[in-house]
């Protein structure tokens, strides 16, 4: 997935399938808010299952691919950056830290808005920071639907399924943070980002 490889030519069937799955992921963003079962208290079992599948996907597929990518990068760089022994893992860790930081910024913004009497919603700047960051992430997911390191239709479907559940969980959290702004514009931007990444 992250390794440097020669460009491959996809069969028309796989190309059509990946386009259909990209549209499917965009549809998840557009309609996951209609799933009323997600609003159950305590936290919905579906959200927990979606989170679990996403974590399982990381351990079963992403970490082994990161290991392959690390070997490729070490081969390309030789001893040039030997002080960064685990380049790919550091980039992945930075990505996790950035998205954790974005969540914290959103929570703090909601608390500030509540104290100021503006309601339980994030400030406009935080909304745009959150949406733009997730749009870049979604574009990467769209790109990976078409340009995957691990070949095969089964792998493609598993990736789609894991990402669809992941997006349901993300949408729920983004909707919690940004309320009507997410439904009005945020979900549309995230859906479009998947298609842009695929193209």
pTM, entire model: 0.75
Q: CA-to-CA distance for 197 and 107, rounded, in angstroms?
A: 28
Alpha-carbon distances, residue 20 vs 30, 45, 54, 153, 187 (angstroms): 15, 28, 21, 13, 19
pLDDT in tens, 52-63: 776 676 666 666
pLDDT band at 155 (very low <50, low <70, confident <90, very high): confident
Q: By mean pLDDT, which of 44-53, 138-147, 159-168 is the weakest?
A: 44-53
Give the largest Cα separation in the chain, rounded. 57
Strands (E), the chain: none
Q: Residue 5: is its pLDDT beyond 70?
A: no
pLDDT of res. 182: 93
Inter-residue contact 2 to 69 (CB < 8 Å): yes
Q: Cβ neighbours of residue 183 under 8 Å, at least 6 residues apart?
A: 33, 175
pLDDT in tens, 93-122: 788 888 888 888 988 988 888 888 888 888
């Amino acid at each position: 997935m992250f390794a440097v490889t020669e460009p491959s030519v996809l069969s028309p069937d796989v190309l059509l399938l990946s386009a259909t799955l990209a549209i499917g992921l965009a549809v998840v963003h557009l309609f996951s808010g209609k799933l009323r079962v997600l609003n159950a208290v305590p936290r919905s079992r579906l959200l927990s299952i979606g989170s679990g599948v996403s974590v399982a996907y990381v351990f079963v597929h992403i970490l082994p691919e990161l290991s392959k990518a690390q070997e490729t990068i070490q081969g390309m760089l030789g001893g040039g950056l030997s002080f960064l022994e685990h380049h790919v893992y550091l980039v992945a860790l930075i990505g996790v830290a950035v998205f954790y930081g974005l969540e914290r910024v959103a929570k703090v913004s909601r608390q500030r808005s509540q104290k100021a009497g503006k309601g339980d919603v994030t400030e406009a700047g935080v909304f745009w920071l959150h949406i733009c960051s997730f749009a870049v992430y979604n574009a990467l997911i769209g790109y990976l639907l078409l340009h995957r390191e691990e070949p095969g239709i089964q792998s493609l479907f598993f990736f789609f399924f894991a990402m669809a559940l992941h997006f349901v969980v993300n949408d729920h959290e983004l909707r919690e943070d940004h309320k009507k702004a997410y439904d009005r514009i945020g979900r549309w931007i995230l859906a479009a980002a998947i298609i842009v990444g695929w193209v």
